[in-house]
Every structure is written in structure tokens, then in C-alpha cells.
């Protein structure tokens, strides 16, 4: 399978990667900016950011249910959302 068709499949299937993955990536970047500004060390910052990203994936479906909105995210997508957030955090932390 060609590289382009793999990416297209992942975006169409939305099992792992969807357009919200970009939002999760930049959430990690924002957390890195915040913790760097506050002067925290990397390991502490990353640990707190991971916990925040993890907790959001638990809270998110509960919020959708409380507003009677449809929520169809699979667990594999929630895991990749956390990974994208962590990648955004790490890339910003070490590149800027």
C-alpha cells in the first residue's frame, strides 16, 4: 500500500487518526509552552502534561453524554490522541 493511501485510509477510517489529532498535538504544544514559561523541568512537565491529556480522554466522553451529544470515539483513537498530545509536547520542548 502506498504511503499516500495509508494516510488516506487512516483519515477515512478515523480509528486511529482524525482531524482532531491536530488539536491534540497543539494541546501538547500549549502545555509545553506553559510549563517552559513557568520554569518547570522536563520530567515534571511531561508527567503533568501526560496526566492532563490522559484525564481529558476520560472526561471527554462524559461531557458528550451530559450534553446528549453523540460520541463515537474508539479506545484506539483515544490512545492516539494522547500520543499526539505527547508528541506535540516533546517536539516543542526540545525544538524551541
Residue 36 falls within a domain, yes or no?
A: yes
Q: 20 versus 32: which is more confidently predicted?
A: 32
Residue 8 falls within a domain, yes or no?
A: no
Residue 9 falls within a domain, yes or no?
A: no
- Please tell me what DSSP assigns to residue 18: -
Residue 65: per-residue pLDDT: 87
pTM for the structure as a whole: 0.83
Residue 3 falls within a domain, yes or no?
A: no
> pLDDT tens digits, residue range 40-88?
999 999 999 999 999 999 999 899 889 888 877 888 899 999 999 999 9
Question: pLDDT-derived band of residue 25, with 50, 70 and 90 as boundaries?
Answer: very high
Residues 87, 25: contact at Cβ < 8 Å?
yes
Residue 13: per-residue pLDDT: 55
Say how many Å lie between the first and final Cα of the chain, rounded. 35
Q: What is the number of domains present in the chain?
A: 1
Residue 75 falls within a domain, yes or no?
A: yes
Residue 4 falls within a domain, yes or no?
A: no
Domain extent, residue 29, equals: 22-95
Residues 90, 31: contact at Cβ < 8 Å?
no
Amino acid at each position: 500500500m502506498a504511503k499516500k493511501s495509508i494516510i488516506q485510509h487512516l483519515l477515512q477510517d478515523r480509528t486511529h487518526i482524525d482531524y482532531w489529532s491536530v488539536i491534540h498535538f497543539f494541546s501538547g504544544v500549549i502545555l509545553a509552552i506553559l510549563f517552559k514559561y513557568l520554569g518547570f523541568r522536563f520530567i515534571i512537565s511531561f508527567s503533568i502534561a501526560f496526566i492532563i491529556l490522559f484525564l481529558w480522554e476520560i472526561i471527554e466522553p462524559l461531557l458528550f453524554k451530559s450534553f446528549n451529544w453523540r460520541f463515537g470515539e474508539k479506545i484506539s483513537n483515544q490512545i492516539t490522541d494522547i500520543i499526539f498530545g505527547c508528541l506535540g509536547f516533546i517536539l516543542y520542548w526540545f525544538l524551541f
